[in-house]
């Protein structure tokens, strides 16, 4: 079987995803990997890597779009000429361009798989753009999603045939880091907030992640803001719609409004008692996957695939709908039972169940079966 695997965004954690997935496919599959020029996750013995996309290095939306279009046309020419058995697309950047690409592949009767990491982009998009995604979905031969919740959403909201959708989990990502730096920084954080339960929200801080709920609680509610048993860390560059200035001067809050590199990310995770994800919407979260990998208890809202790990093992709490009151109740309840946090951290059997459920070997086998089915 010949597979053309296409990921314009194969850098940082996305590159690690590609590396782990492709390394666990059947050896019988001949893979050509069209990725980003910044891919640095390591060579994949079973795949031929073709650095094809560099749009993110261009300036302005027009420049990026032109670069992306040129890259896509080159990849399309190879697909139409060689006609691989299956094309697997990981991410799309410009729906109109990607839909044209997909239409050309379908005219050549090429089977196309797409991984919908999120049903729609995180940012608020116009109705016209939403329709573009719906058109794209209906042109595909198969869609991979990471949770049953996302499968149901695609079926109910977008009319995608259930048999076209395969639920294959997102595997655990192991980030490379400097052990000395991580141990030092994590230890220093624990010393600074000794005796307190550290609640953390990590990664790019965007509105959909519910940062405004945390800001409201820690700035307006004395039971939270003056609670000497807890401390909040908001770490990551803040984007439009996020305003944490009401928290200025609050001794129960640490704000790191900047890029967080891998060493600091792991250090913050290891210093954290509970990872907060009161997201307003999401399909799957890299922060969630990282927290599981680092054995950090989680507090999640009941949206997308966030609660699904809790159905596999009791490694945290589901706050329900992402409201200020639900978040308040959950945080105060957790703060009143610190022994529950320690019990979760020490539950090796629970963490192993999750490691098994999100193992790349199993993910590779399921993906291989999907290719064969097509």
d(CA 88, CA 143): 10
From the list 227, 251, 229, 255, the residue with the least C-alpha distance to 242 is 255
Structure tokens at 23: 């390394």
- Rg of the chain over Cα atoms, rounded to whole angstroms, equals 22
Q: Is the pLDDT of residue 122 over 70?
A: no
pLDDT of residue 52: 94
Secondary structure letter of residue 274 according to DSSP? E
Residues 182-198, mean pLDDT to the nearest whole number: 94
Where would I find the beta strands (DSSP E) of the chain?
Answer: 2-6, 30-36, 47-53, 86-89, 111-115, 142-145, 165-167, 197-202, 230-235, 253-256, 274-277, 298-300, 316-318
Q: Is the pLDDT of residue 346 over 60?
A: yes
pTM higher than 0.75:
yes
Q: Is the pLDDT of residue 333 over 90?
A: yes
Residues 350-369, mean pLDDT to the nearest whole number: 96
Choose between 86 and 121: higher pLDDT.
Answer: 86
pLDDT of residue 121: 67
3-state DSSP helix/strand/coil percent for the chain, to nearest 5?
A: 50, 15, 35
d(CA 126, CA 292): 34
Are residues 145 and 166 in contact, defined by beta-carbon separation less than 8 angstroms?
yes
- Which of 157-161, 185-189, 288-292, 347-351 is predicted with the least confidence, judged by mean pLDDT? 157-161
Spatial CB neighbours of 121, under 8 Å, sequence gap ≥ 6:
none
Q: Is the pLDDT of residue 322 over 90?
A: yes
Choose between 320 and 62: higher pLDDT.
Answer: 320
Q: Is the pLDDT of residue 71 over 70?
A: yes
Percent of the chain with pLDDT over 90: 80
Q: Is the pLDDT of residue 126 over 60?
A: no
pLDDT of residue 118: 84
From the list 177, 84, 100, the residue with the least C-alpha distance to 136 is 100
pLDDT of residue 113: 97
């Amino acid at each position: 079987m010949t597979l053309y695997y296409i990921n314009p965004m194969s850098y940082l954690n996305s590159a690690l995803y590609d590396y782990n997935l492709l390394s666990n496919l059947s050896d019988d599959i001949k893979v050509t990997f069209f990725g980003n020029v910044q891919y640095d996750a390591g060579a994949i013995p079973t795949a031929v890597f073709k650095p094809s996309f560099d749009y993110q290095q261009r300036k302005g939306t027009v420049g990026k779009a032109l670069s992306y279009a040129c890259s896509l046309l080159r990849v399309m020419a190879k697909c139409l000429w060689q006609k691989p058995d299956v094309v697997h697309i990981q991410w799309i950047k410009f729906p109109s361009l990607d839909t044209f690409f997909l239409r050309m592949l379908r005219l050549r009767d090429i089977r196309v798989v797409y991984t919908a990491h999120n049903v729609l982009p995180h940012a608020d998009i116009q109705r016209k753009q939403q329709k573009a995604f719906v058109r794209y979905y209906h042109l595909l031969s198969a869609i991979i999603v990471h949770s049953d919740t996302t499968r149901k959403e695609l079926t109910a909201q977008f009319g995608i045939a259930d048999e076209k959708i395969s639920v294959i989990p997102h595997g655990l990502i192991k980030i490379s880091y400097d052990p000395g730096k991580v141990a030092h920084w994590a230890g220093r954080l624990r010393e600074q907030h000794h005796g307190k339960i550290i609640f953390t929200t990590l990664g790019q801080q965007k509105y959909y992640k519910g940062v405004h709920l945390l800001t409201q609680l820690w700035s307006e509610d004395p039971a939270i803001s003056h609670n000497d048993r807890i401390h909040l860390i908001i770490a990551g560059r803040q984007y439009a719609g996020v305003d944490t200035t009401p928290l200025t001067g609050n001794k129960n809050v640490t704000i790191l409004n900047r890029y967080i590199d891998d060493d600091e990310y792991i250090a913050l995770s290891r210093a954290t008692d509970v990872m907060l994800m009161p997201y307003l919407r999401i399909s799957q979260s890299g922060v969630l996957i990282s927290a599981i990998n680092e054995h950090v208890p989680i507090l999640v809202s009941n949206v997308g695939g966030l609660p699904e790990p809790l159905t596999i093992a009791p490694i945290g709490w589901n706050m329900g709908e992402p409201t200020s009151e639900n978040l308040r109740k959950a945080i105060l309840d957790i703060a009143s039972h610190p022994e529950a946090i320690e019990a979760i951290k020490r539950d090796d059997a629970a963490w192993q169940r999750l490691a098994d459920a999100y193992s790349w070997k199993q993910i590779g086998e399921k993906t291989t079966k999907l290719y064969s089915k097509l």
